[in-house]
Structure 1
Amino acid sequence: MKVLHINAGLEKGGGLFHIINLLTEAKKEGQDFELLTLADGPVSQKAISKGIKTHVLKTKSRYDLTGLKRLAQFINENHFDYVHTHGARANLYLSLIRKKINAKWVITVHSNPLLDFEGRGIMGWIFTQLNLKALKKADGILAITQNFANLLTNKIGIDNKKIHIIYNGIFFHESSDLPAKYDHPYFNLINVARCEKVKGQDLLLKALKDLHDPHIRLHIAGDGSELDTLKDLAQKLNISNQVTFHGFVNHDELTHLYERCDLAVLTSYSESFPLVLLEAADNLIPLLSTEVGDIKKMIPSADYGFISPIGDLDMIKEQILKASLMPSVELKEMAKREKEYLMNNFSLANQLETIIKAYGEI
């Protein structure tokens, strides 16, 4: 079975690590998986550094469709059995050459396709419509949660027989291999997410304001179109001294941040099965998330972490306060429990096995 994974190539966050980790696990297990990116960028560079067989189409811009013929020719001449796309731009390219290739086409839906381009005006609406049409043309869809599978069927009209549920996984480290935590004087929250409306970081800032506790500090790691708006909001709320905006951070920088953080917080309005929480748990950080996607499969009870209803500012505040008042030994035990549970259920080996099974069914 020969599989080509395709991505635009400009991902820097969870999408990059999903693709790279999956292909790294496939390489480790002797699977014939290759990667093609539409442009040179973080994804191709990371893949090459990991020894993954990588090709770059070298498109000139986001709107360059001149590579379509070359892409179809590459797929057919290399006799791929499956082409597996990640992201709206890669989906669009495959939708335009679908009838010219011999391979089966599979799409992973990493996020809510109805919200991916929210707040981007008429161009956002056009991109959304193009992506929805592409999803309907694929031979199979891998949805990261049951919630997304239901959305694809009920709101987008995709036949549920084409949809397979695939939960994200990561490489977990032995806890003894993790660097020691830094002693620090504050209760540090960390939010790792793009600064976009769908991530709900304004709720975090408002919660911090309402808690009136200078001992609680917030670190936001991510860039995006809402970054300046969030900085302005922090100033308006007079909490700038409690918030650090780190912008985009690489994996090593994030690992160092985790060494002095006490709670990983995600206040999104929509997520799939967030890798950032798996990675925080791997670093023995307790988790707080809004009730997005299939988060209850990640945090099955209050013994494993904290959950708030989506958009519920009062509950977000309550859960942050509850965590900040817990004895540190209890928080550490919660983090250990959560990591052990996730290691047993959401490893990359489990994810790859499920994907290969889905290929066969498709």
Structure 2
Amino acid sequence: MKVLHINAGLEDGGGKNHILSLLSQFDSSVAELLVLEEGIIAEEAKKLGITVHTLKQQSRYDLSILKRLAQFINDHSFDIVHTHGARANLIFSLIHKKVPALWFTTVHSDPTLDFMNRGVKGYVFTQLNLASLKKADHLIVVTDSLIKPLCDLGINKEKITVIYNGLQFGSPLVKATKTNKQFTLTCVARLHPIKGHELLLESLDAARFSDFTLNLVGDGELRSALEKKVQELNMQDRVHFLGFLNKPQVDVTIKNSDLTLLASYNEGFPMVLLESANQKVPFIATSVGDISLLVPDKQYGWCVPAGSTESLTKALNEAYDEWENGTLETKGELVYQLASTQFSLKKFYDATLALYETFIHA
């Protein structure tokens, strides 16, 4: 069996970690990676010993690569092509009838929302991606909650399999200081409307404590608007925009935090929460996707309704009280035990391999 994973190559969030962690488990003779452009994914994949190919697409509109891509897949006799992301989906949809390989695609979030607030261009990209998804032989979703939206688009439920993200859990890093002088919070998410940063800032402004530090890890289209929001709320000394960080830097930032935050309006099963659990740092997250599987009750952390400033503020106040009382770390230990048992990288890999083999031997 030979599998080719395809991605645009510029992904720098949970999708990147999903692809790289999965491919790191496969023998290089079984699974390889092809990126449309050189970028962070190719760079990190090579460091992991993953076989990487680059098509050097000049832009997302460059279709001159189609013939080369089809020839490459056929010449290397790949049995399965596994795409990740809207651009990879579209590009392969244009040639999939010219190659005998089975087509799998992973859906990480609600595809109707991926290009929200992007105007006409966003609408067009959304429609192209939805049309591409319908052509795939099989879809993998990272959360059970994505099945219904996909079925509503006309995709047969039998073509969909849920495989949760997994992480290689290990010994947490050592915290720089045993106790932070200020309540230290970190949110790792691209600066996009779907991630709820503005609501997070408003909830912090409404909280009854002000001695906090908030690290915002990630970049995106909302950066200037969020920087302006921080100024309006007079939080510029407490909110730090750290931009893009590599994985080791993210791990260190999380470990040196008391709590991580995710205020998204839509998610699948975020890798960043597994990364937080691996560092034994509890979190407040919105109850979207299957996040509640990591927070079965309040012993483990907080799962609040999406879009509710009141609920998020209440959770922040409760977390602050636990930080002051020295009981917050207990939640971190519990969520680590749960996540490392239920959502290991081995389970993620085994489920993916089993699905591939089911189709290959059908």
TM-superposed CA distance for 1:139, in Å, is 0.1
Shift of 1:54: 1.0
**What's the CA shift for 1:344?**
0.7
3-state SS of the aligned residue for 1:338?
helix
- How far off is 1:250 after superposition? 1.7
What is the deviation of 1:352? 1.0
Q: Which residue of 1 aligns with 2:327?
A: 330
Instruction: Identify the match of residue 315 of structure 1 among 308, 311, 325.
Output: 311
Describe the superposition over 1:329-357 as per-residue Cα deviations: whole angstroms up to 9, x where unpaired: 42111111111111111111101111122
Matching residue of 1:3: 3
Distance 2:158 2:321 in 1: 47
- Measured after TM superposition, the shift of residue 258 of structure 1 is 2.1
Query: Following the alignment from structure 2 to structure 1, what is the Cα–Cα distance between the partners of residues 175 and 260?
Result: 17
Does the alignment pair 1:245 with 2:241? yes
Amino acid at match of 1:171: Q
Q: Kindly report structure 1 stretches of 4+ aligned residues shifted beyond 4 Å.
A: none
SS in 2 for 1:194: coil
Query: 177, 184, 199: which one pairs with 2:180?
Result: 184
Paired residue for 2:118? 120
State percent identity of aligned pairs: 42
CA deviation map 1:73-120 (0-9, x unaligned): 111111111000000000001100011001000000012111111111
Structure 2 segments unaligned to the other structure (5+ residues): none
| C-alpha distance in structure 2 between counterparts of 1:43 and 1:259, whole Å | 24
CA distance in 2, matches of 1:351, 1:259: 24
CA contact (8 A) 1:192 1:266 kept: yes
Residues in 1 aligned to 2:134 and 2:277: alpha-carbon distance in whole angstroms: 35
Equivalent-residue separation in structure 1 for 2:195 and 2:268 (angstroms): 12
**For 2:26 and 2:148, how far apart are their aligned partners in 1?**
28
Write the distance in 2 (CA, Å) between the matches of 1:283 and 1:346. Answer: 14
Within-5 A mapping of 1:134-153: 134-153=132-151
Partner secondary structure for residue 190 of structure 2:
coil
Whether contact under 8 Å (1:170, 1:348) holds in the other structure is yes
Give the match for residue 348 of structure 1.
345
Using the TM superposition, give the Cα deviation of residue 303 of structure 1 relative to its aligned residue in structure 2, in angstroms. 1.2
- C-alpha distance in 2, partners of 1:95/1:284? 41
TM-score of the aligned structures, taking structure 2 as reference length: 0.96
> Corresponding residue for 1:43?
41
Provide the alpha-carbon RMSD of the alignment.
1.3
The counterpart of 1:211, out of the listed 203, 207, 211, is 207
Q: Note the residue ranges of structure 1 that are not aligned, 5 or more in a row.
A: none
Question: Could you tell me how far 1:246 is from its partner in structure 2?
Answer: 1.1
Distance 1:341 1:181 in 2: 25
Matched residue of 2:242: which SS?
A: strand
Given that 1:208 and 1:216 are in contact with CA atoms closer than 8 Å, whether structure 2 keeps it comes out as no
d(CA) in 1 for partners of 2:62, 2:29 = 32
> Match for residue 255 of structure 1?
251
Task: Measure how far apart 1:143 and its partner are.
Answer: 0.6
Q: Which moved more, 1:328-337 or 1:47-56?
A: 328-337
